[in-house]
């Protein structure tokens, strides 16, 4: 059920009803499905899906038509490409103009991200012991072919397009995004302590 959404406040915001957008190649879905069906825990599932995708990533044009790869000055865009009928995973493509970024957030389930075009800068945070602030744990600059798998807890992050051109990334979530609207568990507006 391909749909297009405009993520104005959060990654993969609730999709607009039934607007056709991109597609997810059948071979990619078969790879993901084969790993998910092992029924392992979230981190191992994310690791296996990430490993399966490395070196086998699609071109951005295989997921989204040119009109959807231009980006939107209003906000980065999230296009839901596939929701597995049994609810076990979803695939989305995100398009970012230079400088566009997510809020600090974490997720409801495991996630695998793959940069297909451009550069995405990721900051990873942890909550302080009192839960009143965030502390930056690490930063990564992810270029095309970079594939990362992660799972809650410990997945608080923010992603930004730090390049000069449009960035495109593919996101696979261990949840039914067509039902949930997005993969976000919580957005964080806490101060960041050094
Ligand atoms: Fe995220």
CATH number at residue 144: 2.60.120.10
Domain count, the chain: 1
The CA 186 to ligand 1 mean position distance, Å, reads 10
Closest by Cα among 95, 65, 114 to 5:
95
Residue 25: per-residue pLDDT:
96
- Return the DSSP state at 8: S
Burial class (CB in 10 A: 0-12, 13-18, 19+), 15: buried
**Contact indicator for 105, 156 with CB cutoff of 8 Å:** yes
Q: What is the pTM of this model?
A: 0.88
> In terms of residue numbers, what domain contains 127?
3-193
Q: pLDDT tens-digit profile of 46-71?
A: 999 999 999 999 999 999 999 999 99
Residue 20: per-residue pLDDT:
53
Closest by Cα among 121, 104, 113 to 163:
121
The CA 38 to ligand 1 mean position distance, Å, reads 24
Residues of the chain with pLDDT under 70: 1-20
**Contact indicator for 136, 125 with CB cutoff of 8 Å:** yes
The CA 159 to ligand 1 mean position distance, Å, reads 7
């Amino acid at each position: 059920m391909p749909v297009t959404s405009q993520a104005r406040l959060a990654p993969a915001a609730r999709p607009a009803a039934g607007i056709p957008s991109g597609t997810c190649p059948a071979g990619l879905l078969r790879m993901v499905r084969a790993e998910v069906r092992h029924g392992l825990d979230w981190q191992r599932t994310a690791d296996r899906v990430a490993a399966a995708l490395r070196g086998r990533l699609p071109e951005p044009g295989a997921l989204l038509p040119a009109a959807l790869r231009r980006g939107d000055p209003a906000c980065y865009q999230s296009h839901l490409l596939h929701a597995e009928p049994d609810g076990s995973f979803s695939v989305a493509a995100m398009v970012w103009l230079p400088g566009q970024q997510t809020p600090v957030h974490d997720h409801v389930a495991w996630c695998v991200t793959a940069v297909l075009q451009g550069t995405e800068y990721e900051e990873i945070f942890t909550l302080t012991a009192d839960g009143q602030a965030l502390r930056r744990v690490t930063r990564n600059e992810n270029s095309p072919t970079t594939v990362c798998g992660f799972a809650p807890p410990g997945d608080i992050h923010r992603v930004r397009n730090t390049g000069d051109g449009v960035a495109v990334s593919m996101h696979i979530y261990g949840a039914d995004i067509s039902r949930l609207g997005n993969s976000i568990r919580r957005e964080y507006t806490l101060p960041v302590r050094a």
